[in-house]
Structure 1
Amino acid sequence: MKKRRLGNILLGSALTVSLIATSGVPNNVLAKDQGQTKVTEAERILKNLNDEQRRALKQLEVGPGFVISPDINVNTPELVNVIVEFKQAPAKVELMKQAAKGKKVALSSAKIKVEASHQQFKKEFNKLTGLKIAYSQNVNESKITREYKNAFNGVAVTVPGNVLEELVKSDVVKRIWNNKEIKLDLPKEPKELKSTAQSGSADSNQQIGADKLHEEKVTGKGIKVGVIDTGVDYNHPDLKNAYKGGYDFVDNDSDPMETTYEDWKKTQYPEVDPSSGSTYYTSHGTHVSGTVAGQKKNHVDYAVEGVAPESDLYVYRVLGPYGSGTTDAVLAGIDKAVGDDMDVINLSLGASVNDALYPTSVAINNAMLSGVVAVVAAGNTGPNENTVGSPGTSAFAITVGASDVSQTIATYSASAGDKKYSDIKLLGKNYTDKLEDLKDKSLDVVFVGLGKSSDVEGKDLKGKLALIQRGEIALDEKIQNARKAGAEAVIIYNNVEGEIAAYLGESTGYVPTFQLSKADGEHLKSQENVKFTFGLLGSVQTEGDHLADFSSRGPVAQNYDIKPDVVAPGVAIFSTYPEYMNDPEDGDNYDIAYTRMQGTSMASPHVAGAAALLLQEHPDYTPFDVKAALMNTADEMKEKYSVNEVGAGRIDVYEAAHAGVSLKVLDKTENVEGKETVEIDEETGSIAFGSHYQKDEELNLDKKVMIENHEKEDKEFKVKVEFLPAKDNIQDAKKNGVEVKIPDSISVSSEGKKEVKPAIHVPLDAANGRYEGYIHFVNKIMRKTIKFHLQSVTQIKVLIILN
């Protein structure tokens, strides 16, 4: 049963601009930017002004503004690589800008404007670069390397640095950015992974409710998802039929295959980059693609089914060897994906710049305005605050943090001598191991100490069970040493009280490995000439829904926007892997072409897949409808977190697909546009009351929330405000008299709308800091939640520069 559309894309002046100004701070999204974009002091001052000062200065010039990125050398005659942003908006965004003014413009006319801006720039560029004597002998090597027209209007160029100040005099040019290097920067993989933080594709699909939608034949069929990444091994059996095309912006052809092992063998480059630890050959995009669109076609029992297994997968390769690339290629990937009419794009990479004015942020916002759901990883630089990176700082993007997932872990009952064991947990296994083959099998137990190579040397382990004590070397190494010595199975017992809080998953170097407590392990060791007999195969379920430590946190610098918007499974996610990664020798062996990876990079494709499911179920949803649906229905985490750590919570796509009521916050945010400050409308699922200077009077603020009932019966909601308890920079709201006022109950008629205005009251003597919480709208069959956040300060420093 199709649900009705939740609402219009944006209201009022929302369509006049497509980005928000924030200041730059050093952090990363997933890919690491080699350098930091700075903002001019004038712009920084503007962003820090309080409300009254901002209104007073609104009509004044703010100086030269951000025209040429300060990290570009404009005096050098040497060639520099830059990105030039044009003033003219992309065609689809231009339509919306004009519609906001009450004007109708044909798409063809808007495209003509875009094309005219490119032609004018080329004319001026060619004229300028012909002045060899005036600038540099290198000027004849100047060239336009890429053109962007869909999600971003501008070009990438190579020119002498001392030409740029003339270039910005063009009526076409708005800003010039440094074309930065980007490298993948996944969180460091621990040798031992927390057992509550493991997941296979079935587990994470179940965690977010995708499995129930699959049962209802909601599989993403007909929805085009673009993965902008390192490429894809499109020969993988789980991806072969899902893959429909794409483009390679590294080699500039239509074949977005990952950088392969064979590619590396043809070069003289080192296999591993000593500075980053990354291999020349890549795998990241294949793993992300499996989470989105894996079709479980491989003939192994651990084949991967993605969140949207019948979606159409398009891949745009923007990062090459060692997982590195440049901003111009990433921008090109976004631009082409919008031009190719993708329904959803996933960006599991980004720059280390907390700046929504950065070109990729502009492109992401314009993608959303153009009708493309843009999902972006929040970053891997947690657990500190303000670590979310661009374009995850974008107001319009669905920014995703990482949580762990409830997982099914195999167990066995067993006996040895006079001792019976119940539910000994699996610690790791080979991809091809069939655990059921151990049932009723008895193996001789051989104690091999700590499991070092010297401990197993000379021991007869063939067809036996190696008993190993935890400690000194990694669990992973212990298992591999025992396997090399011929062990058929392994038990590792703890060296401290309690169980080993780890689960290693699958590896080609493993044999079936289980864990025991310290007491049970020492008892087993004390028995001589004992056989260990496996009994019944079972399983246990771990808890899940805890935030990953590495997941980047908000708020966004300066404007205090709440980020991330949601979280999704992103720790040790099991997905597809290029064939050459686990078996690089000649011949194809896709039986073991899988691995676990972790990062917000792995969380983001869960949300991209969820968006595809929503668009199949609700084909008239806008990107903002999708965002609101996912935020409104997100589930609470197992612990109390700041709204700037988990956003609305962990997504529940099943609830999102069947939601008959939506809540949208109709907000506004400010942006530095040229030489003036403008406001743009923002339609989202959270309330950011902002940062305020409280001097002589109490603070009272409100925000508009639109409740839309799409069902044919009236709805009655009980409303409850929940402040988060005091912690770190979060203040105790009750103690300080801070309260959010909203009616205790709200009625919405069938297929009707109701506007409410939650209002926050802050007494004059309230302590400085943050006040965070949730507004819960609950009726007998559903629960909706809106998060809120306010920062209160006592003073503001203003710097005035006189020339």
Structure 2
Amino acid sequence: MIKSFKKTIAILTASVIIGSLAGQSVFAAGPAQSSQSDNLKSLQKRLLEASLQRIADKNSKPDASAFIAPGIDTSSSKKIKVIVRLSVQPAAVGIYAAKQGNRMLAQEFTQEKVADEQTAFLVAAKAQGIDLSVNYKFDTVLNGMEVTVNANQIQKLAKIPGVQAIHPNLIYHPISEPDSLASETLDKNDMVPLKQIGVDKAWEMGFTGKGLKVGVLDTGVDYAHPDLKGAFQQGSNGPVYGYDSFNQDLDPYEDLPRGYFGGYAGSAHGTHVSGTIVGRAVNVTGDFNQKGVAYEAELHSYKVLGVKDDDYTAEAPTGTSAQIINGIEHAVEDHMDVINLSLGSALAKDANSPDSIAVNNAVLAGVIAVVANGNDGSSGHYYYSMGSPASAQLAISVAAATSPSVQYEVSVKDSVLAQSNLLRLVAWQSGQTVFGSIFGTKPVEAVYVGLGRETDYTSDPTMFKDKIVFISRGLISFEEKVKTAKKMGAKAIIIFNGIDKVENGVSVPNLDDNIPGRNGPIGSIAALGDGHDYIPLIDMPGQLGRSIARQLQMWGTLQFTFASDIKVIQLKGDTVAEFSSRGPNSDGNYGIKPDVSAPGVNIYSTFPAYGKVNPSQSYEHAYARESGTSMASPHVAGLALLVKEKHQDWSPADVRAALANTADEINKDGTMYDVYSQGSGRVNIVNALKTPAILQALDKITIYDNQYNPITMDSEAPNLSFGMIQAGSEASKPLQLKNTSGGSLTYTAQVVMHLKVTSDPDPTRAIPTPNVKDIKVTLDGLDTGNSNKITVGPYDRHRLTLTAKTKAKAPPGVYEGEVLLTNAKSGIPPLHLPFVIHVGEDDSANNSFAIQDIKLSNNTVTSDKPVDISFTLHSNTVNYILIGLYGLDEKFLGYVSYINDIEVKDDTEKLNYLPAGKITIPDFDGTYVDEYLSPEGDNVIKQLTDGNYNLGIIANSFNPETGELEDQTAIFKSIFVQDSSTESVTPSP
């Protein structure tokens, strides 16, 4: 009996037409003014009425209603916090317009006009009887406010004139990798990652960030740290630290530790990030200190993540959309040159989420925004694992790369399987690398301690003294495992790759033989290096370690024998960290994100000692190593300061292009990383400072929700996506070569296709690079009479056109390449701009995904113009397909269709495999079957409201006999739903 499918629908397509309701636009006005009075109060009334009438005129279509983000339960009576976005463009748009010379547009979008509309909105809400309280107001990078309101009044709120969208107030987290935390070093300061990206040479050139301001939006900062306190501006009343958007005061200090026996440990993330950017390296209390990339820049801290003072059991700081937007607004108003956001939400896969809009508008206001790309690359989803605000199209999104490092290799034989294996020794106590004297050559007794928590050890202190502890990866950080083992007196640790699971409410190691992504060694993320509180840590492949652990459950004893020959292994670095989130962007055009990569594994930087509350506190050991794109992003923020220092007239887009155009492309074992992993490559500041020109794409992008007053502009991006094109077709995109120097420049141009790039490391999901011979990409607009030269005059721009043409039988897949420009003059670095082309076509044998070629007959869905959904099943082992609907917050809404073939015989059910081929679901009009049944047990048919959604085709392979799920794959397509009663709008690509 297959219990999972006792209640199934063989082929169900919900296609119920829901009629629209006719009504009138609703707006409110203040009390009628007295014609006899001309005082200030009546003037305010007239201004308010004028503002209301302008909004009413703009929204005079019947039943005008704002977009309500999926996932908001408007049937609940509970009070919730939401972001309300209004129609007048924020002041940053006016700032951008002024810079472009558009005086009329600059006068149209000002803080005063935003204030008028916000006042009108609040008056209208009161007139409608809507009880709300305002928590935050935004006018610079977002026109809107965070309000607390009863959820069942949101639909009423959405009909107030001027309201454009209502979004949930999402929860955001610092983006650091929990598997790798604090370790100390005896080096004065760690120059390895800085030399990797050329910072030492930039300093020699005289660039240190002096005179520029950087805002760090994070958990706050320990401004008592010796290496940081000198980086703050000295105002008339003392240092100016920034702003605390979390607590809404002027003291953005890190959360203090509180509670006992497992209480909240306090925050540290913002201090670590700040040290990477501006560490002054002046701490004389110990043998080491921290020197930041732009160590003479001025630091401003904007605390947007935290834990409330009365919370003693929190595990980590978090923040909301409103707090992050508030921090961005303060940073813009404080005239930051660069802001760094090492934070994000993996669930918010929306290029136009409120915080992404705020980031975009900070850039329009002239601020360079650098954002961590996320740490979800190894969380089960590889591509599309990035979230928001890394998805902001004008930001510099940063992936994490490894740095050069030293490891050791030793042959280890276990007594259970009696196998000898070469294993990497990836951590050790500072100054103690004579491992032969530690291990010896005789068998050493070992004890299996599960996940390596302190509670996994027995209370007998002699049980582990001078023994090897055998541990599974999972649940807690490597650092905690190492320090706990040392505390217990262990000689060393052997840790095998794995993951934790919950059994009977308790976390235990998962000892399954096959765990995708955890079968080999742990790799660079476990390479802590040296530390005062460490013992040797040895990295064992997961499949081997789990096999030994399973045998131990039967045999009970274990010994390890070490060979005398221990080799030194020099790792060159420049690999993309496995945890680093991958693109494409959620912009509907397979946009290339991240933009660049930077060092982000085991990065050494400042750590808080909380000297604010204890002035005598020593900062001798107030340093740590952490991993994550959180650590990569501040490296790029520092580089952006150095480029801006040299080119103070450059726009944020210019700085982004210089860093990306001149980045070094990196590879994994000789295979180039795909663009959705590395972006344009690992940054190289020397080339970025030396380049006299930049290369940018000029394809049109929309930085607002495309159904609400979109702002369409040239992307000026350092990369280009052609989006999805069909085999046998062609597409063209504009580029520009911009000369920022006073002399004429000539480049040799070529289009280079990437013959092979990396893919998903999970072999069940990996796909080979398609044959680039099936696509021809040409560059037009070159010098007259010369097939490969481009000449651009002083301070001039040269327009180019990049055209991609696919063969009629080109297989589907992702084709990559780059435009490469080289200059014959010594000292001028080459420029490259990566591009990507997604080709879709039926019956492709070169793509191993079970579901391919998902298409809609129209990307806009309305109730009176249904669309057909089609896709190709390219597998003979799929027996259950679900067509589901998801909000942009990844919340599952319901089903469009099931496809399966259930054979019932002798009161048993069997799922037969479905035949491969093209499948069409006709007449999808936005109706669907809700996830939950009615109280009577019936299906509930619902209609999607206006907005953007993800349509997911999920192919499942169940064992026909046991009903166990053996494989699953999915592909998603973004759709835009619009009520047929409103004017049809097709989203921009």
TM-score between both structures, scaled by the size of structure 2 = 0.62
Query: Which position in structure 2 is the counterpart of 1:207?
Result: 196
| Structure 1 residues 455 and 652: CA distance shift in structure 2, 3 A | farther
Query: Which position in structure 2 is the counterpart of 1:579?
Result: 609
Decide which of 534, 542, 550 is 2:579's aligned counterpart: 550
Query: Which position in structure 2 is the counterpart of 1:249?
Result: 245
| SS of equivalent to 2:103 | coil
Deviation of 1:186 (Å) = 3.8
| Structure 1 residues 219 and 455: CA distance shift in structure 2, 3 A | same
Which structure 2 segments of 5+ residues have no match?
1-16, 19-60, 234-240, 308-315, 410-422, 449-456, 498-519, 541-559, 760-765, 842-854, 865-979, 981-989
| SS of equivalent to 2:732 | strand
| SS of equivalent to 1:613 | helix
Q: What CA distance in whole angstroms lies between the structure 2 residues aligned with 1:192 and 1:258?
A: 17
Does 469-478 or 365-374 show the bigger shift?
469-478
Deviation of 1:235 (Å) = 1.1
Decide which of 579, 582, 591 is 1:561's aligned counterpart: 591
| Structure 1 residues 445 and 118: CA distance shift in structure 2, 3 A | same
Percent same amino acid at aligned positions?
A: 32
After superposition, the C-alpha distances for 1:174-210 in whole angstroms (9 at most, x for unaligned) are: 21112223344643406999xxxx9974111111111
Structure 1 position 701 matched with structure 2 position 701: no
Deviation of 1:651 (Å) = 0.7
| SS of equivalent to 2:296 | coil
Q: Please give the residue correspondences for 1:428-467 in structure 2 after superposition, counting only pairs within 5 Å.
A: 428=427, 448-450=444-446
Q: What CA distance in whole angstroms lies between the structure 2 residues aligned with 1:233 and 1:667?
A: 43
- AA of the residue aligned to 1:736: D
Retained in 1: the 8 A contact 2:752–2:818? yes
Rg (Cα) greater in structure: 2
Decide which of 634, 639, 643 is 1:605's aligned counterpart: 634
Q: What CA distance in whole angstroms lies between the structure 2 residues aligned with 1:75 and 1:494?
A: 48
Query: Which position in structure 2 is the counterpart of 1:175?
Result: 165
Query: Which position in structure 2 is the counterpart of 1:404?
Result: 402
Q: What CA distance in whole angstroms lies between the structure 2 residues aligned with 1:687 and 1:109?
A: 30
Q: What CA distance in whole angstroms lies between the structure 2 residues aligned with 1:184 and 1:483?
A: 29
Which structure 1 segments of 5+ residues have no match?
1-40, 43-60, 273-278, 412-423, 526-531, 533-537
- AA of the residue aligned to 2:256: T
Q: What CA distance in whole angstroms lies between the structure 1 residues aligned with 2:708 and 2:721?
A: 25
Decide which of 663, 675, 681 is 1:634's aligned counterpart: 663
- AA of the residue aligned to 1:637: I
Decide which of 711, 735, 747 is 2:790's aligned counterpart: 747
Query: Which position in structure 2 is the counterpart of 1:56?
Result: none
Retained in 2: the 8 A contact 1:451–1:481? no
Retained in 1: the 8 A contact 2:141–2:358? yes
Q: What CA distance in whole angstroms lies between the structure 1 residues aligned with 2:337 and 2:228?
A: 19
Deviation of 1:311 (Å) = 1.0
| Structure 1 residues 271 and 123: CA distance shift in structure 2, 3 A | farther
Q: What CA distance in whole angstroms lies between the structure 2 residues aligned with 1:456 and 1:397?
A: 54
Structure 1 position 312 matched with structure 2 position 372: no
Q: What CA distance in whole angstroms lies between the structure 2 residues aligned with 1:478 and 1:285?
A: 24
Retained in 2: the 8 A contact 1:291–1:307? yes
| SS of equivalent to 2:638 | helix
Query: Which position in structure 2 is the counterpart of 1:150?
Result: 140
- AA of the residue aligned to 1:103: R
| SS of equivalent to 2:838 | strand
Retained in 2: the 8 A contact 1:719–1:776? yes
Query: Which position in structure 1 is the counterpart of 2:882?
Result: none
Deviation of 1:484 (Å) = 4.9
Does 585-594 or 306-315 show the bigger shift?
585-594
| SS of equivalent to 2:699 | strand
Query: Which position in structure 2 is the counterpart of 1:25?
Result: none
Query: Which position in structure 1 is the counterpart of 2:863?
Result: 801
| SS of equivalent to 1:786 | strand
| SS of equivalent to 2:374 | coil
Query: Which position in structure 2 is the counterpart of 1:419?
Result: none
Q: What CA distance in whole angstroms lies between the structure 2 residues aligned with 1:657 and 1:62?
A: 55
Query: Which position in structure 2 is the counterpart of 1:114?
Result: 114
Retained in 2: the 8 A contact 1:663–1:708? no
Deviation of 1:226 (Å) = 0.6
Structure 1 position 163 matched with structure 2 position 194: no
| Structure 1 residues 100 and 174: CA distance shift in structure 2, 3 A | farther
Q: What CA distance in whole angstroms lies between the structure 2 residues aligned with 1:785 and 1:763?
A: 25
Retained in 1: the 8 A contact 2:482–2:534? yes
Q: What CA distance in whole angstroms lies between the structure 1 residues aligned with 2:777 and 2:255?
A: 55
Q: What CA distance in whole angstroms lies between the structure 2 residues aligned with 1:717 and 1:65?
A: 54
Deviation of 1:165 (Å) = 3.1
Q: Please give the residue correspondences for 1:645-794 in structure 2 after superposition, counting only pairs within 5 Å.
A: 645-670=677-702, 672-674=705-707, 679-693=712-726, 698-708=729-739, 710=741, 712=743, 714-725=745-756, 728-729=766-767, 731-741=769-779, 745-749=788-792, 751=794, 752-780=796-824, 781=826, 782-794=829-841
Query: Which position in structure 2 is the counterpart of 1:258?
Result: 254
Deviation of 1:624 (Å) = 0.8
Deviation of 1:708 (Å) = 2.2
Q: What CA distance in whole angstroms lies between the structure 2 residues aligned with 1:723 and 1:490?
A: 44
- AA of the residue aligned to 2:370: V
Deviation of 1:450 (Å) = 3.2
Deviation of 1:692 (Å) = 2.4
- AA of the residue aligned to 2:637: A
Deviation of 1:572 (Å) = 1.7
Does 68-77 or 242-251 show the bigger shift?
68-77
| Structure 1 residues 376 and 458: CA distance shift in structure 2, 3 A | closer
Decide which of 295, 305, 314 is 2:280's aligned counterpart: 295
Query: Which position in structure 2 is the counterpart of 1:325?
Result: 319
Deviation of 1:736 (Å) = 1.9
Does 447-456 or 379-388 show the bigger shift?
447-456
Deviation of 1:121 (Å) = 2.6
Retained in 2: the 8 A contact 1:491–1:514? yes
Does 143-152 or 161-170 show the bigger shift?
161-170
| SS of equivalent to 1:260 | coil
The structure carrying a bigger helix percent of its residues is: 1
- AA of the residue aligned to 2:734: K
Q: Which of structures 1 and 2 has the larger relative contact order (alpha carbons within 8 angstroms, sep 6+)?
A: 1
Structure 1 position 235 matched with structure 2 position 224: yes
Deviation of 1:596 (Å) = 1.5
Q: What CA distance in whole angstroms lies between the structure 2 residues aligned with 1:616 and 1:701?
A: 36
- AA of the residue aligned to 1:387: S
- AA of the residue aligned to 2:719: S
TM-score between both structures, scaled by the size of structure 1 = 0.75
Deviation of 1:615 (Å) = 1.2
Does 107-116 or 589-598 show the bigger shift?
107-116
Q: Please give the residue correspondences for 1:500-579 in structure 2 after superposition, counting only pairs within 5 Å.
A: 503-510=527-534, 522-524=562-564, 541-557=570-586, 558-579=588-609
Retained in 1: the 8 A contact 2:739–2:745? no
Does 551-560 or 372-381 show the bigger shift?
551-560
Retained in 2: the 8 A contact 1:199–1:405? no
Retained in 1: the 8 A contact 2:175–2:344? no
| Structure 1 residues 254 and 709: CA distance shift in structure 2, 3 A | closer
Q: What CA distance in whole angstroms lies between the structure 2 residues aligned with 1:678 and 1:746?
A: 35
Q: What CA distance in whole angstroms lies between the structure 2 residues aligned with 1:232 and 1:561?
A: 34
| Structure 1 residues 500 and 493: CA distance shift in structure 2, 3 A | farther
- AA of the residue aligned to 2:584: P
Q: What CA distance in whole angstroms lies between the structure 2 residues aligned with 1:75 and 1:455?
A: 53
| Structure 1 residues 202 and 328: CA distance shift in structure 2, 3 A | same
After superposition, the C-alpha distances for 1:418-475 in whole angstroms (9 at most, x for unaligned) are: xxxxxx9985456xx5679x99x999999753378899966999xxxx6x66845788
| Structure 1 residues 476 and 350: CA distance shift in structure 2, 3 A | closer
Structure 1 position 86 matched with structure 2 position 86: yes
Query: Which position in structure 2 is the counterpart of 1:346?
Result: 340
Query: Which position in structure 2 is the counterpart of 1:220?
Result: 209
Deviation of 1:101 (Å) = 8.7
After superposition, the C-alpha distances for 1:508-560 in whole angstroms (9 at most, x for unaligned) are: 533688999xxx974559xxxxxx9xxxxx99753011011111111123221
Query: Which position in structure 2 is the counterpart of 1:35?
Result: none
What root-mean-square deviation, in Å, do the aligned CA atoms of Structure 1 and Structure 2 show? 4.4
